[in-house]
Amino acid sequence: MESINKQTAEQRFSEHEAALQELSTWMYHNPELAYVEHETSAKMAEALRNGGFEVEHPAYGLDTAFEAKIGTKGPRVVICAEMDALPEVGHACGHNIIATAGIGAGIALGAVAEDLGIRVTVLGTPAEENFGGKVDLINAGAFKDAAASMMIHPSSKDLVDPLFLAIDHLDVDFYGKEAHASGSPEIGINALDAAVQAYTNVAALRQHILDSDRIHGIITHGGAAANIVPAHTSMSWYVRSQTDERLEVLGDRVRKCFEAAAVATGCRYEITPRGYRYKNIRNDKVLAKLYHTNTAAAGRPMPMYADIEPFTSGSTDMGNVSYELPSIHPMLSLDCLPAVNHQKEFAAATLTEKGMQTIRDGAIAMAWTTIDLAEQDLWDQLGTF
Q: Where are the alpha helices (DSSP H) in the chain?
A: 4-29, 38-50, 95-110, 113-116, 133-139, 191-205, 244-265, 285-297, 318-322, 344-349, 353-375
The count of domains in the chain is: 2
Which backbone phi and psi does 291 adopt, to 5 degrees? -65, -40
Q: Dihedrals φ, ψ of 330, to 5°? A: -60, 150
| Ramachandran sector of residue 275 (left: φ over 0; alpha: ψ -120 to 50; beta: rest) | left
Report d(CA 255, CA 182) in Å as an integer: 32
- At position 140, the amino acid (one-letter code) is A
pLDDT for the residue numbered 225: 97
**pLDDT at residue 313, rounded to an integer:** 76
Task: Based on the fold, state whether residues 205 and 175 are members of the same structural domain.
Answer: yes
Q: Are residues 237 and 307 in the same domain?
A: no
Q: Is 73 helix (H, G, I), strand (E, B) or coil?
A: coil
Tell me, what CATH number does 59's domain have? 3.40.630.10
- Both 155 and 63 in one domain: the answer is yes
Instruction: Profile the chain (385 residues) by mean pLDDT over runs of 10 residues.
Output: 89 98 98 98 98 98 98 98 97 98 98 98 96 97 98 96 95 98 96 98 97 96 97 98 95 98 98 95 97 97 88 89 98 97 97 98 98 98 94
The reply to whether 308 and 354 lie within a common domain is yes
- Asked whether residue 209 falls in the same domain as residue 334, the answer is no
Q: Helix or strand or coil: residue 135?
A: helix
> Which CATH number characterizes residue 260's domain?
3.30.70.360
* DSSP-assigned states of every residue in 287-327: HHHHHHHHHHHTT-----GGGS--------THHHHHTTS-E
Whether residue 310 has a cis bond before it, omega within 30° of 0: no
DSSP-based three-state secondary structure for 176:
coil
- Stated length of the chain: 385
90 residue type, one letter? G
Angle between helix axes 244-265 and 191-205 (nearest 10 degrees) is 140
- List CB contacts of 302: < 8 A, sequence separation 6 or more: 158, 159, 160, 292, 295, 296, 330, 332
Domain C-terminal end among 273, 298, 321:
273
Domain match, 130 and 40 both: yes
Cβ–Cβ < 8 Å for 152, 329: yes
Of the residues 229, 256, 273, the one at which a domain ends? 273
Element (H, E) at 217: strand 214-221
SS (H, E, C) 331-366: EEECCCCCCCCCCHHHHHHCCCHHHHHHHHHHHHHH
pLDDT, position 247: 96
146-150/327-328 β-pairing = parallel
User: Residues 350-356: contacts with CB within 8 Å, 24+ apart?
Assistant: 350/24, 350/28, 350/91, 350/94, 350/96, 350/97, 350/154, 351/24, 351/25, 351/28, 355/24, 355/94, 355/97, 355/154, 356/21, 356/24
The answer to whether residues 137 and 84 belong to one domain is yes
Angstrom CA distances, 269 to 106, 250, 336, 373, stand at: 47, 19, 42, 52
Radius of gyration of the chain (CA): 23
Nearest Cα neighbor of 242 from 312, 306, 303 is 312
Give yes or no: residues 301 and 324 share one domain: yes
Q: What is the DSSP letter of 245?
A: H
CB atoms within 10 A of CB 190: 24
CA angle 164-312-85, nearest 5°? 60
Q: Are the CB atoms for 167 and 238 separated by under 8 Å?
A: yes
CA 371 to CA 373: how far, in whole Å? 5
Which residue, of 273, 308, 343, is where some domain finishes?
A: 273
Same domain, residue pair 56 and 152 = yes
What is the C-alpha separation between 365 and 300, in angstroms, rounded? 9
Co-location of 160 and 225 in the same domain: no
pLDDT at 309: 77
Q: What is the pLDDT of residue 1?
A: 44
Residue ranges making up the domain that contains 193 = 166-273
The reported pLDDT for the residue numbered 306 is: 85
26 and 138 share a domain? yes
pTM, entire model: 0.92
Let me know whether 35 and 179 are in one domain: no
